[in-house]
Structure 1
Amino acid sequence: MRDVLAANLRRARLGRGLSLSELSRRSKIGKATLSQLEAGAGNPTIETVFSLSRALEVPISDLLDQQLPSGPTVVRGAEVEVLRGAAVDLRPLHGIEADGGMVEVYDQQVRPGARQDSLGHVGVEHTIVQAGRLGVRVDDQEVELGPGDYIGFDALRPHSYVALDGPVRSVLLLQYGSDQRLRLTDPHAPGLVGKD
Protein backbone atom coordinates (compact mmCIF):
# COMPACT_ATOMS: atom_id res chain seq x y z
CA MET A 1 0.00 0.00 0.00
CA ARG A 2 2.87 2.40 0.75
CA ASP A 3 4.26 2.24 -2.80
CA VAL A 4 0.81 2.74 -4.34
CA LEU A 5 0.09 5.68 -1.98
CA ALA A 6 3.51 7.17 -2.77
CA ALA A 7 2.95 7.14 -6.53
CA ASN A 8 -0.69 8.29 -6.35
CA LEU A 9 0.03 11.02 -3.79
CA ARG A 10 2.77 12.50 -5.95
CA ARG A 11 0.59 12.21 -9.06
CA ALA A 12 -2.37 13.88 -7.31
CA ARG A 13 -0.24 16.64 -5.77
CA LEU A 14 1.42 17.48 -9.08
CA GLY A 15 -1.90 17.18 -10.90
CA ARG A 16 -3.30 19.83 -8.56
CA GLY A 17 -0.19 21.98 -9.07
CA LEU A 18 0.70 21.91 -5.36
CA SER A 19 4.12 22.07 -3.75
CA LEU A 20 4.89 19.90 -0.73
CA SER A 21 4.75 23.07 1.39
CA GLU A 22 1.27 23.98 0.13
CA LEU A 23 -0.04 20.44 0.59
CA SER A 24 1.43 20.47 4.09
CA ARG A 25 -0.42 23.70 4.86
CA ARG A 26 -3.73 22.41 3.46
CA SER A 27 -3.54 18.95 5.03
CA LYS A 28 -1.89 20.00 8.32
CA ILE A 29 0.63 17.20 7.78
CA GLY A 30 4.31 18.03 8.17
CA LYS A 31 6.32 18.57 5.00
CA ALA A 32 8.87 15.94 6.13
CA THR A 33 6.06 13.41 6.64
CA LEU A 34 4.66 14.14 3.18
CA SER A 35 8.12 13.73 1.69
CA GLN A 36 8.45 10.34 3.43
CA LEU A 37 5.02 9.26 2.17
CA GLU A 38 5.94 10.19 -1.41
CA ALA A 39 9.12 8.16 -0.98
CA GLY A 40 7.11 5.12 0.12
CA ALA A 41 8.28 5.33 3.74
CA GLY A 42 6.35 5.65 6.98
CA ASN A 43 3.06 4.15 8.11
CA PRO A 44 0.10 6.24 6.96
CA THR A 45 -2.84 6.27 9.37
CA ILE A 46 -6.54 6.71 8.58
CA GLU A 47 -6.25 10.31 9.72
CA THR A 48 -3.35 10.94 7.33
CA VAL A 49 -5.09 9.40 4.31
CA PHE A 50 -8.35 11.24 5.03
CA SER A 51 -6.48 14.54 5.51
CA LEU A 52 -4.75 14.04 2.16
CA SER A 53 -8.07 13.14 0.51
CA ARG A 54 -9.63 16.32 1.93
CA ALA A 55 -6.69 18.58 1.03
CA LEU A 56 -6.36 17.22 -2.51
CA GLU A 57 -10.17 16.98 -2.97
CA VAL A 58 -9.95 13.42 -4.28
CA PRO A 59 -11.49 10.10 -3.22
CA ILE A 60 -9.42 7.87 -0.99
CA SER A 61 -9.33 5.27 -3.77
CA ASP A 62 -7.48 7.74 -6.00
CA LEU A 63 -4.73 7.60 -3.37
CA LEU A 64 -4.81 3.89 -2.52
CA ASP A 65 -5.89 1.94 -5.63
CA GLN A 66 -3.40 0.55 -8.09
CA GLN A 67 -5.92 -0.27 -10.80
CA LEU A 68 -9.32 -1.84 -11.14
CA PRO A 69 -9.11 -5.53 -12.09
CA SER A 70 -11.17 -7.06 -14.88
CA GLY A 71 -13.22 -10.21 -14.37
CA PRO A 72 -14.30 -11.67 -11.04
CA THR A 73 -12.85 -9.97 -8.00
CA VAL A 74 -12.13 -11.81 -4.76
CA VAL A 75 -10.61 -9.90 -1.86
CA ARG A 76 -9.45 -11.82 1.18
CA GLY A 77 -9.86 -9.56 4.21
CA ALA A 78 -6.95 -11.21 6.00
CA GLU A 79 -4.66 -10.29 3.09
CA VAL A 80 -5.61 -6.60 2.97
CA GLU A 81 -3.39 -4.10 4.75
CA VAL A 82 -5.31 -2.33 7.51
CA LEU A 83 -5.48 1.45 7.84
CA ARG A 84 -5.52 2.15 11.58
CA GLY A 85 -6.91 5.23 13.28
CA ALA A 86 -7.59 6.31 16.86
CA ALA A 87 -10.60 3.97 17.09
CA VAL A 88 -11.18 2.51 13.62
CA ASP A 89 -9.53 -0.22 11.56
CA LEU A 90 -10.38 0.03 7.84
CA ARG A 91 -9.71 -2.65 5.26
CA PRO A 92 -10.13 -1.26 1.73
CA LEU A 93 -11.86 -4.06 -0.18
CA HIS A 94 -12.90 -2.73 -3.57
CA GLY A 95 -13.76 0.30 -5.67
CA ILE A 96 -16.84 0.17 -7.89
CA GLU A 97 -16.98 2.60 -10.81
CA ALA A 98 -20.35 3.74 -12.15
CA ASP A 99 -21.25 6.65 -14.43
CA GLY A 100 -17.81 8.20 -13.91
CA GLY A 101 -18.25 8.12 -10.13
CA MET A 102 -16.88 5.69 -7.58
CA VAL A 103 -18.07 3.76 -4.55
CA GLU A 104 -15.33 2.46 -2.26
CA VAL A 105 -16.15 -0.56 -0.09
CA TYR A 106 -14.45 -1.00 3.30
CA ASP A 107 -14.64 -3.51 6.12
CA GLN A 108 -14.77 -1.19 9.13
CA GLN A 109 -14.16 -2.20 12.73
CA VAL A 110 -14.59 0.32 15.53
CA ARG A 111 -12.66 -0.42 18.70
CA PRO A 112 -14.15 0.48 22.10
CA GLY A 113 -12.52 3.03 24.38
CA ALA A 114 -11.78 5.80 21.86
CA ARG A 115 -13.53 8.10 19.39
CA GLN A 116 -12.61 8.31 15.70
CA ASP A 117 -12.95 11.96 14.63
CA SER A 118 -12.90 13.27 11.07
CA LEU A 119 -12.79 16.93 10.07
CA GLY A 120 -14.56 15.85 6.88
CA HIS A 121 -13.51 14.73 3.41
CA VAL A 122 -15.00 14.58 -0.08
CA GLY A 123 -17.83 12.19 -0.87
CA VAL A 124 -20.92 10.77 0.75
CA GLU A 125 -20.36 8.35 3.62
CA HIS A 126 -22.64 5.32 4.14
CA THR A 127 -22.30 2.97 7.12
CA ILE A 128 -24.22 -0.27 7.73
CA VAL A 129 -23.71 -1.82 11.17
CA GLN A 130 -23.25 -5.59 11.16
CA ALA A 131 -22.56 -6.23 14.87
CA GLY A 132 -22.39 -4.09 18.03
CA ARG A 133 -23.76 -0.63 18.84
CA LEU A 134 -22.26 2.38 17.07
CA GLY A 135 -22.49 6.02 18.10
CA VAL A 136 -22.26 8.43 15.15
CA ARG A 137 -21.98 12.20 15.43
CA VAL A 138 -22.41 14.41 12.34
CA ASP A 139 -22.01 18.11 13.12
CA ASP A 140 -24.09 18.43 16.31
CA GLN A 141 -26.42 15.49 15.67
CA GLU A 142 -25.82 12.17 17.42
CA VAL A 143 -27.44 8.82 16.62
CA GLU A 144 -27.04 5.28 17.91
CA LEU A 145 -27.06 2.41 15.44
CA GLY A 146 -27.42 -1.34 15.99
CA PRO A 147 -27.09 -4.38 13.73
CA GLY A 148 -28.82 -3.80 10.39
CA ASP A 149 -29.04 -0.01 10.88
CA TYR A 150 -27.78 2.45 8.25
CA ILE A 151 -26.63 6.07 8.21
CA GLY A 152 -25.62 8.22 5.25
CA PHE A 153 -24.34 11.82 5.21
CA ASP A 154 -22.25 14.36 3.32
CA ALA A 155 -18.72 13.40 4.38
CA LEU A 156 -17.53 17.02 4.16
CA ARG A 157 -19.32 17.59 7.47
CA PRO A 158 -17.25 16.91 10.63
CA HIS A 159 -18.16 13.48 11.98
CA SER A 160 -17.09 10.81 14.44
CA TYR A 161 -17.63 7.16 15.34
CA VAL A 162 -17.53 5.49 18.76
CA ALA A 163 -18.20 1.89 19.81
CA LEU A 164 -20.78 2.14 22.59
CA ASP A 165 -20.50 -1.20 24.39
CA GLY A 166 -17.84 -3.32 22.74
CA PRO A 167 -16.35 -3.68 19.27
CA VAL A 168 -18.45 -2.76 16.24
CA ARG A 169 -18.26 -4.42 12.83
CA SER A 170 -19.68 -2.47 9.90
CA VAL A 171 -19.50 -1.90 6.18
CA LEU A 172 -18.37 1.56 5.12
CA LEU A 173 -19.16 2.83 1.63
CA LEU A 174 -17.63 6.08 0.38
CA GLN A 175 -19.42 7.45 -2.69
CA TYR A 176 -17.88 10.02 -5.03
CA GLY A 177 -19.33 11.85 -8.01
CA SER A 178 -17.51 12.02 -11.33
CA ASP A 179 -16.48 15.61 -10.55
CA GLN A 180 -14.61 14.47 -7.42
CA ARG A 181 -12.24 12.00 -9.10
CA LEU A 182 -8.86 12.45 -10.68
CA ARG A 183 -8.57 10.84 -14.09
CA LEU A 184 -5.51 8.67 -14.43
CA THR A 185 -4.87 7.48 -17.98
CA ASP A 186 -2.56 4.71 -16.74
CA PRO A 187 -2.12 4.07 -13.01
CA HIS A 188 1.58 3.36 -13.60
CA ALA A 189 2.28 6.40 -15.78
CA PRO A 190 3.89 9.49 -14.22
CA GLY A 191 1.53 11.95 -15.92
CA LEU A 192 -2.00 12.88 -14.98
CA VAL A 193 -5.02 13.88 -16.99
CA GLY A 194 -7.14 16.54 -15.26
CA LYS A 195 -10.74 16.30 -14.17
CA ASP A 196 -13.48 15.98 -16.77
Structure 2
Amino acid sequence: MGDSPDRSVRGMLALNLKRARAQRGLSLSELSRRSKIGKATLSQLESGTGNPTIETVFSLSRVLEMPISDLLDTRPPAGLRVVRAKDVEVLSGDAVDLRPLQRIESGDAVFEIYDQQVRAGCRRDSLGHVGTEHTIVQAGRLGVSVDGHEVELEPGDYVGFDAALPHSYSAQEETVRSVLLLQYRPDQRLRPHASGPPDGERVGCGD
Protein backbone atom coordinates (compact mmCIF):
# COMPACT_ATOMS: atom_id res chain seq x y z
CA MET A 1 0.00 0.00 0.00
CA GLY A 2 1.43 3.42 -0.95
CA ASP A 3 1.99 6.25 1.45
CA SER A 4 -0.95 8.63 1.91
CA PRO A 5 -0.28 12.34 1.27
CA ASP A 6 0.64 14.48 4.25
CA ARG A 7 -2.43 16.67 4.85
CA SER A 8 -0.93 18.52 7.82
CA VAL A 9 -0.18 22.25 7.67
CA ARG A 10 3.49 21.36 7.38
CA GLY A 11 2.91 18.87 4.57
CA MET A 12 0.59 21.09 2.53
CA LEU A 13 2.89 24.11 2.90
CA ALA A 14 5.82 22.03 1.65
CA LEU A 15 3.89 20.94 -1.44
CA ASN A 16 2.37 24.31 -2.29
CA LEU A 17 5.46 26.40 -1.53
CA LYS A 18 7.57 24.38 -3.93
CA ARG A 19 4.88 24.65 -6.60
CA ALA A 20 4.43 28.41 -6.17
CA ARG A 21 8.16 29.08 -6.18
CA ALA A 22 8.59 27.03 -9.36
CA GLN A 23 5.70 28.85 -11.08
CA ARG A 24 7.38 32.17 -10.38
CA GLY A 25 10.87 31.00 -11.35
CA LEU A 26 12.30 31.97 -7.96
CA SER A 27 15.37 30.35 -6.46
CA LEU A 28 15.51 29.64 -2.73
CA SER A 29 18.07 32.41 -2.43
CA GLU A 30 15.83 34.96 -4.14
CA LEU A 31 12.79 33.96 -2.12
CA SER A 32 14.89 34.22 1.02
CA ARG A 33 16.02 37.72 0.04
CA ARG A 34 12.50 38.96 -0.68
CA SER A 35 10.83 37.38 2.35
CA LYS A 36 13.72 37.86 4.81
CA ILE A 37 13.32 34.20 5.77
CA GLY A 38 16.56 32.24 6.01
CA LYS A 39 17.42 29.97 3.09
CA ALA A 40 17.88 27.03 5.45
CA THR A 41 14.45 27.66 6.96
CA LEU A 42 12.83 27.77 3.51
CA SER A 43 14.58 24.55 2.56
CA GLN A 44 13.17 22.87 5.69
CA LEU A 45 9.69 24.18 4.92
CA GLU A 46 9.85 22.79 1.39
CA SER A 47 11.04 19.41 2.63
CA GLY A 48 8.23 19.24 5.19
CA THR A 49 10.59 19.23 8.17
CA GLY A 50 10.22 22.89 9.15
CA ASN A 51 7.93 24.40 11.76
CA PRO A 52 5.87 27.12 10.01
CA THR A 53 4.71 30.06 12.10
CA ILE A 54 2.03 32.67 11.40
CA GLU A 55 4.72 35.25 10.67
CA THR A 56 6.41 32.95 8.14
CA VAL A 57 3.19 32.08 6.31
CA PHE A 58 2.01 35.70 6.12
CA SER A 59 5.41 36.77 4.82
CA LEU A 60 5.33 34.10 2.11
CA SER A 61 1.75 35.08 1.25
CA ARG A 62 2.87 38.67 0.69
CA VAL A 63 6.01 37.92 -1.29
CA LEU A 64 4.38 35.25 -3.48
CA GLU A 65 1.20 37.36 -3.74
CA MET A 66 -1.20 34.48 -3.09
CA PRO A 67 -3.88 33.65 -0.52
CA ILE A 68 -2.78 31.88 2.62
CA SER A 69 -5.08 28.97 1.82
CA ASP A 70 -3.28 28.48 -1.52
CA LEU A 71 -0.20 27.80 0.58
CA LEU A 72 -1.90 25.57 3.15
CA ASP A 73 -4.49 23.58 1.19
CA THR A 74 -5.81 22.80 -2.27
CA ARG A 75 -9.00 20.81 -1.80
CA PRO A 76 -12.26 22.80 -1.74
CA PRO A 77 -14.92 20.96 0.31
CA ALA A 78 -18.16 19.65 -1.17
CA GLY A 79 -21.53 19.27 0.52
CA LEU A 80 -22.04 19.60 4.26
CA ARG A 81 -18.85 20.20 6.19
CA VAL A 82 -18.47 20.38 9.95
CA VAL A 83 -15.11 21.53 11.33
CA ARG A 84 -14.42 20.68 14.97
CA ALA A 85 -12.01 23.04 16.70
CA LYS A 86 -10.26 20.15 18.43
CA ASP A 87 -9.51 18.53 15.06
CA VAL A 88 -7.93 21.61 13.44
CA GLU A 89 -4.18 22.05 13.49
CA VAL A 90 -3.23 25.39 15.03
CA LEU A 91 -0.91 27.77 13.19
CA SER A 92 0.87 29.67 15.95
CA GLY A 93 3.03 32.76 16.14
CA ASP A 94 4.54 34.69 19.02
CA ALA A 95 1.29 36.59 19.66
CA VAL A 96 -1.52 34.93 17.70
CA ASP A 97 -2.98 31.46 17.22
CA LEU A 98 -4.96 30.76 14.03
CA ARG A 99 -7.17 27.77 13.29
CA PRO A 100 -8.05 27.56 9.57
CA LEU A 101 -11.73 26.58 9.44
CA GLN A 102 -12.86 26.96 5.85
CA ARG A 103 -11.89 28.10 2.37
CA ILE A 104 -14.74 29.35 0.18
CA GLU A 105 -14.42 29.88 -3.58
CA SER A 106 -17.00 32.06 -5.33
CA GLY A 107 -16.22 32.51 -9.00
CA ASP A 108 -12.62 33.67 -9.08
CA ALA A 109 -12.74 35.13 -5.57
CA VAL A 110 -11.49 33.32 -2.46
CA PHE A 111 -12.52 33.69 1.17
CA GLU A 112 -10.69 32.16 4.13
CA ILE A 113 -12.25 31.81 7.59
CA TYR A 114 -10.09 31.48 10.71
CA ASP A 115 -10.62 31.23 14.43
CA GLN A 116 -8.12 33.81 15.72
CA GLN A 117 -6.83 34.26 19.26
CA VAL A 118 -4.55 37.12 20.29
CA ARG A 119 -2.77 36.32 23.54
CA ALA A 120 -3.15 38.60 26.56
CA GLY A 121 -0.46 41.29 26.74
CA CYS A 122 0.63 40.66 23.16
CA ARG A 123 0.66 42.70 19.95
CA ARG A 124 1.16 41.54 16.37
CA ASP A 125 2.28 44.07 13.77
CA SER A 126 2.22 43.50 10.02
CA LEU A 127 3.53 45.66 7.19
CA GLY A 128 0.68 44.22 5.13
CA HIS A 129 -0.21 41.38 2.79
CA VAL A 130 -2.62 40.70 -0.07
CA GLY A 131 -6.37 40.66 0.47
CA THR A 132 -9.05 42.40 2.48
CA GLU A 133 -9.21 41.61 6.19
CA HIS A 134 -12.45 41.29 8.16
CA THR A 135 -12.54 40.65 11.93
CA ILE A 136 -15.46 40.09 14.31
CA VAL A 137 -14.60 39.99 18.02
CA GLN A 138 -16.19 37.18 20.02
CA ALA A 139 -14.58 37.62 23.43
CA GLY A 140 -12.29 40.20 25.03
CA ARG A 141 -11.28 43.69 23.89
CA LEU A 142 -9.19 43.90 20.73
CA GLY A 143 -6.98 46.85 19.86
CA VAL A 144 -6.71 47.40 16.10
CA SER A 145 -4.42 49.85 14.32
CA VAL A 146 -4.63 50.34 10.55
CA ASP A 147 -2.24 52.75 8.85
CA GLY A 148 -2.09 54.93 11.96
CA HIS A 149 -5.82 54.79 12.80
CA GLU A 150 -6.54 53.06 16.12
CA VAL A 151 -9.80 51.57 17.39
CA GLU A 152 -10.77 49.27 20.23
CA LEU A 153 -13.35 46.56 19.57
CA GLU A 154 -15.64 44.80 22.02
CA PRO A 155 -17.48 41.47 21.58
CA GLY A 156 -19.78 41.70 18.57
CA ASP A 157 -17.85 44.57 16.94
CA TYR A 158 -16.54 44.33 13.37
CA VAL A 159 -13.64 45.91 11.51
CA GLY A 160 -12.62 45.60 7.86
CA PHE A 161 -9.68 47.06 5.92
CA ASP A 162 -7.29 46.64 3.02
CA ALA A 163 -4.77 44.13 4.36
CA ALA A 164 -2.00 45.72 2.27
CA LEU A 165 -1.98 48.60 4.76
CA PRO A 166 0.27 48.36 7.85
CA HIS A 167 -1.87 46.98 10.67
CA SER A 168 -1.74 45.43 14.10
CA TYR A 169 -3.84 43.53 16.62
CA SER A 170 -3.29 43.73 20.36
CA ALA A 171 -4.85 42.23 23.49
CA GLN A 172 -4.39 43.89 26.85
CA GLU A 173 -5.77 42.22 29.97
CA GLU A 174 -7.15 39.00 28.49
CA THR A 175 -6.81 36.77 25.47
CA VAL A 176 -9.05 37.99 22.63
CA ARG A 177 -10.94 35.53 20.46
CA SER A 178 -12.28 36.59 17.09
CA VAL A 179 -13.35 35.37 13.66
CA LEU A 180 -10.91 36.42 10.93
CA LEU A 181 -12.06 36.40 7.31
CA LEU A 182 -9.55 37.09 4.52
CA GLN A 183 -11.00 38.03 1.15
CA TYR A 184 -9.02 37.92 -2.10
CA ARG A 185 -9.94 39.44 -5.45
CA PRO A 186 -9.30 37.45 -8.65
CA ASP A 187 -6.29 39.66 -9.47
CA GLN A 188 -4.73 38.77 -6.10
CA ARG A 189 -4.49 35.08 -6.91
CA LEU A 190 -1.43 33.37 -8.38
CA ARG A 191 -0.07 36.32 -10.32
CA PRO A 192 3.70 36.73 -10.89
CA HIS A 193 5.47 38.59 -8.12
CA ALA A 194 6.15 42.25 -8.75
CA SER A 195 9.25 43.70 -7.18
CA GLY A 196 8.38 45.37 -3.91
CA PRO A 197 9.28 45.50 -0.26
CA PRO A 198 9.16 42.17 1.59
CA ASP A 199 6.67 41.62 4.38
CA GLY A 200 7.62 42.35 7.97
CA GLU A 201 5.80 40.76 10.88
CA ARG A 202 6.62 42.05 14.35
CA VAL A 203 5.24 40.71 17.58
CA GLY A 204 5.60 41.58 21.22
CA CYS A 205 4.18 40.54 24.56
CA GLY A 206 4.23 42.32 27.87
CA ASP A 207 5.86 40.96 30.98
TM-score (norm 2): 0.86
TM superposition outliers: structure 1 runs of 4+ over 2 Å: none
Say if 2:70 is the partner of 1:70. no
The 3-state SS of whatever aligns with 1:157 is coil
Q: Distance in 2 between matches of 1:163 and 1:113?
A: 6
Shift, 1:80, TM fit:
0.8
Partner of residue 183, structure 2: 175
Q: CA RMSD, aligned part only?
A: 1.2
Shift, 1:123, TM fit:
0.2
Partner of residue 202, structure 2: none
Letter of the 2:36 counterpart: K
Partner of residue 45, structure 1: 53
Shift, 1:138, TM fit:
1.0
Say if 2:60 is the partner of 1:17. no
Shift, 1:182, TM fit:
2.7
The 3-state SS of whatever aligns with 1:171 is strand
Letter of the 1:13 counterpart: R
Q: Distance in 1 between matches of 2:141 and 2:122?
A: 14
In 1, are the aligned partners of 2:105 and 2:111 still within 8 Å (CA)? yes
Partner of residue 187, structure 1: none
Q: Distance in 2 between matches of 1:60 and 1:70?
A: 20
Say if 2:16 is the partner of 1:4. no
In 1, are the aligned partners of 2:134 and 2:160 still within 8 Å (CA)? yes
The 3-state SS of whatever aligns with 1:81 is coil
The 3-state SS of whatever aligns with 1:36 is helix
Say if 2:71 is the partner of 1:54. no
Partner of residue 162, structure 1: 170
Q: How many residues align?
A: 184
Flag structure 2 segments of 5+ consecutive residues without an equivalent.
1-8, 193-207
Identity of aligned residues (%): 73
Question: Relative CO higher for 1 or 2, CA cutoff 8 Å, sep ≥ 6?
Answer: 2
Flag structure 1 segments of 5+ consecutive residues without an equivalent.
184-193
1:148 to 156, 159, 168: 156
Shift, 1:34, TM fit:
0.4
The 3-state SS of whatever aligns with 1:130 is strand
Partner of residue 114, structure 2: 106
Shift, 1:121, TM fit:
0.6
